[in-house]
Amino acid sequence: MDLRQLCVHQTKMASSSLTPVMKEDVVEFKTWAELPSDLTSSILRRLCAVDILDNAQKVCTTWRRICKDRAMWRKIDMGSSLGHLACDMKYVTMCRHAVDRSQGGLVEIDIWFIGTDSLLNYIADSSSNLKSLRLGECDLLTNEGFTEALVKLPLLEELEVSYCSLSIESLKVVGQSCPKLKTLKLNRRCYRRPRYVCEEDALAIAETMPGLVDLQLFGNMLSDIGLNAILDNCPNLEHLDLRHCLNVNFAGDLEKRCSERIKVLRRPNDSTHDYPYAGYYYEIDSSEDYYPEVDYPEDDDYYPYGLTPYDNYDHDAAVYHDHSSNYDPRYNSDDSEHLYDIFGYMQL
């Protein structure tokens, strides 16, 4: 939805909410600049920071005045809509400018791709009242920079770290420094084979985050052991998302414990249709040497949602591609490195 469509939609919504008596007195506005300031502000708040700074504030002096109001910047969205444009570091400068406009009133921020140590610490230094932080695919962010910033955010209630390199030590710092944390979304890449098992995330959460209510661990490598630890130490947990956590089997009474304790439980093989990002299955090695005791069937019913070992998700096109039957004479070689990248995806 572009800027003009958003304005039309929000104006119609505001008009439809009026009582029948008031509708008779509604004034038709000839230009967008004539809209009441509170309605214009409500519309513009639904735009991402880039759209506001690059477009909306340039429409007219009235909109520019509204866009400079600190109340407009309680929430900043530098989100996944940037895509590959985020390679342009002007967006880091733009994010800093948006933080400056909040004048310390920032409570919620989403950052994808452009997160760095200096940017995150700039935000933390300027916004000690921050309650919600979402980070996604911030490859330039280090664990040292992350922990340095998080210790400055004691009021944080919601944290999302999706597809970033976050160490166990950093995760523990989050729990120790953010006692008000209620929501954690720690989303990682999913490895179907080889099936690594790692309980470290789960044990760090169990050790340092007893107040969690909502926990998402998409693609995590925890097993029933880690899940039991979380249930033992997070008594307030109500929402638990374990999709693509392929090592969780709910053995013994674990299924019963979850049913009794958790109000909303998403199991490892549940649909990902409402998951906001691309759900990957990674195949580093498909040889039977890794799992000689497991017979992986060839039928399509075995692989959830139509995914097969050589299926991968095209993030830009938002569709799945099956390359298993593709042939290209350029890769007519016995050397598997010419055919597949490290994650088992065919290189085309």
- Is residue 118 situated within a structural domain? no
Q: How confident is the model at residue 196 (pLDDT cuts 50, 70, 90)?
A: confident
Q: How confident is the model at residue 324 (pLDDT cuts 50, 70, 90)?
A: very low
Sheet bearing 132-136, strands edge to edge:
75-78, 108-112, 132-136, 158-162, 183-187, 214-216, 239-241, 264-266
Residue 344 region, left (φ>0) first, then alpha (ψ -120 to 50), else beta?
left
- Is residue 262 situated within a structural domain? no
CA distance 2 to 272: 27
pTM of this structure: 0.72
User: What would the mean pLDDT of 94-100 be, rounded to a whole number?
Assistant: 94
Nearest CA-CA partner of 190 in 272, 254, 293 = 272
CB 10 within 8 A of CB 43: yes
- Is residue 2 situated within a structural domain? yes
Lowest mean pLDDT among 21-25, 44-48, 187-191: 21-25
- Is residue 166 situated within a structural domain? no
Q: How do residues 25-75 score in pLDDT, each as one tens digit?
A: 555 666 666 778 888 888 888 888 889 998 888 888 888 998 899 999 999
Q: How do residues 236-279 score in pLDDT, each as one tens digit?
A: 999 999 999 999 999 999 999 999 999 999 999 999 888 888 76
- Is residue 99 situated within a structural domain? no
Phi (first) and psi of residue 273, to 5 degrees:
-60, -30
b or e along 236-249 (b: 16 or more beta carbons within 10 Å of the residue's beta carbon)?
Answer: ebeebbbbbbbbbe
CB 62 within 8 A of CB 33: yes
- Is residue 49 situated within a structural domain? yes
Total domains present in the chain: 1
- Is residue 59 situated within a structural domain? yes
- Is residue 219 situated within a structural domain? no
Q: Is the pLDDT of residue 348 over 60?
A: no
Nearest CA-CA partner of 192 in 108, 99, 312, 74 = 312
Domain that holds residue 60: 1-68
